[in-house]
A and B are shown apart, each in its own frame.
Chain A
Amino acid sequence: MEWLQQLINGISLGSIYALIALGYTMVYGIIKLINFAHGDVFMVGAFVGFYAIKGWGLGFFPALLFSMAFCAVFGVLIERIAYKRLRNATRIAALITAIGMSLLIEYGVIYARGAQPEAYPDNVLPSTSFNLFGAQISSQSLFILSVSVGLMIILQFIVHRTKIGKAMRAVSHDMDAARLMGINVDRTISYTFAIGSALAGAAGVIFGVYYTKIEPLMGIIPGLKAFVAAVLGGIGIIPGAMVGGLILGVVESVVSAMGFSLWRDAAAFIILILILIFRPSGIFGKNTREKV
């Protein structure tokens, strides 16, 4: 039952992609910016979690919450400092700024602490494995999966049931109409960055606990893959990011399981190319036609 095991691994990995992809998609939904620094927020989250666990001896959940809070503030600062003044600039200017921001964070972290990797302690979560239909399932991967799913449920609740969530949806649909409702657009955008970055921070800690090794450039590949996941689901669409992340994780695991481990990373980008050719609006995207 190698397959079932790979499937569970794929879903766990996919849920990490999904958490990162959510931030991409929410930010894109609201200001139409591909925030290339988002993968680096994930990296910062992993390091903050690491220092909280190793340095301060915090447990998993306190470290997770601390990292989420830290990244929320960090994400808001990035938006306020770098992106806010570009709101009426061309898209390419904003995109270049985002890439610059990404490099700044990566090399800022290297400057501050060096480029050497760190290893998360392996006793953060109890790890037992048990047998399910003959497959060896580790309790860690199930635990990580449930934390990710829990965060996504909370996000759905925020977006659909709270006032700030409704404001976010209104702003992403029509910024000026939202202003006419009395919605403070700047503040709503800040909340979006805060929530998206907190999820990336959570993904960073989960990643660290699951894969152990973290380093300052670790955000690049998962960031790109999460971007693919967001496009796959339909950029700007929240459930799309979740489903896109899970699909991508499972596809990668299946590709590895078939013995093509070296093709794992390529799989994501082949998916990106296929989706851009055959369904550029993504799985959940509709070909929007405005009603006049």
Chain B
Amino acid sequence: MLKVNGIDVFYGNIHALKGVSLEINEGEIVTLIGANGAGKSTLLKTLSGLLKPKSGTIEYLGSSISGKAPQSIVKSGISHVPEGRRVFANMSVEENLELGAYLRKDSKEIRKDIQSVYELFPRLEERRKQLSGTLSGGEQQMLAMGRAIMAKPKLLLLDEPSMGLAPLMVKTIFQIIEKINKDGTTILLVEQNANMALSVADRAYVIETGRVEISGTAAELQASEEIKKAYLGGL
């Protein structure tokens, strides 16, 4: 579905991604794990068009999307839930969801999809008129995910959804990630919480200082001594 081939991404002269390649097949949950500053968010921003790769290619559903504008990438079915949620704090929950459907014109379907987001996240329905800046961190994460789903993505990019959340909330969020995947959306999940991420993923990539160092099935990585030491708290 998505094929990233040796991309290099720079911030000025900081070389943030160095020849990164990865592949995602339809229906999978693929996780990308790595320490702070490894380049995970940079990769997602490049996939969604916020950053442009200097070299390398990104192929999505058979055509190149590298260097395309974010709006055309969203239109082609990739939604990105950014790190730190980035909800529109000055707008209500429902307005945030409507913005998620910004490129869609089927207003009847949009109403229906807002209802299905509320079914997925009942807490959001209770707070539909509330300003999203007043939501708790977990609720904001739900909103950010609901907002991304409103674009009807085929591929959902999630950047550290568990960041800063209480364990119970992390569990809820991961259950919902699995449910979204079962309903037919392919997922690329970026996490520092490697344990949790590997438990829901099919395959995984480990990124260190801008390079993909290890890749394999989630089970392989869970079993690897090296990974256990570096990312799973040495258990």
A residues near B (Cβ < 8 Å) are 163, 166-167, 169-170, 173-174, 176-184, 290-292
Contacts and interface: CB of A to CB of B under 8 A. Distances in A.
A180 to B, nearest CB: 5
B102 A182 contact: yes
B48 A291 contact: no
B75 A176 contact: no
B187 interface: no
A170 B86 contact: no
8 contacts: A177-B82, A177-B87, A179-B71, A180-B74, A182-B74, A182-B102, A182-B103, A292-B84
A166 B74 contact: no
Interface stretch (B29-37, B88-96, B191-199, B209-217): B88-96
B160 interface: no
Q: Is the interface of A mostly helix, strand, loop or mixed?
A: helix
Contact of B88 (A163, A177, A179, A182): A177
Contacts of B151: 181-182
B164 interface: yes
Nearest to B70: A179
Interface residues of B, number: 32
Contacts of B102: 163, 166-167, 181-183
Interface of B: 48-50, 69-71, 74-75, 79-80, 82, 84, 86-91, 95, 98-100, 102-103, 133-134, 137, 140, 147-148, 151, 164
A181 B147 contact: yes
A170 B88 contact: yes
Contacts of B50: 176, 179-180
Nearest to B75: A182
A178 B74 CA distance: 11
Given A180-B80, A180-B82, A184-B71, A173 B89 contact: yes
Nearest to A180: B80
Contacts of A170: 88, 91, 99
Nearest to B84: A292
B71 A183 contact: yes
Residue among B71, B95, B133, B137 having the largest count of chain A Cβ atoms under 10 Å: B71
A285 to B, nearest CB: 12
A179 B148 CA distance: 12
A177 B86 contact: yes
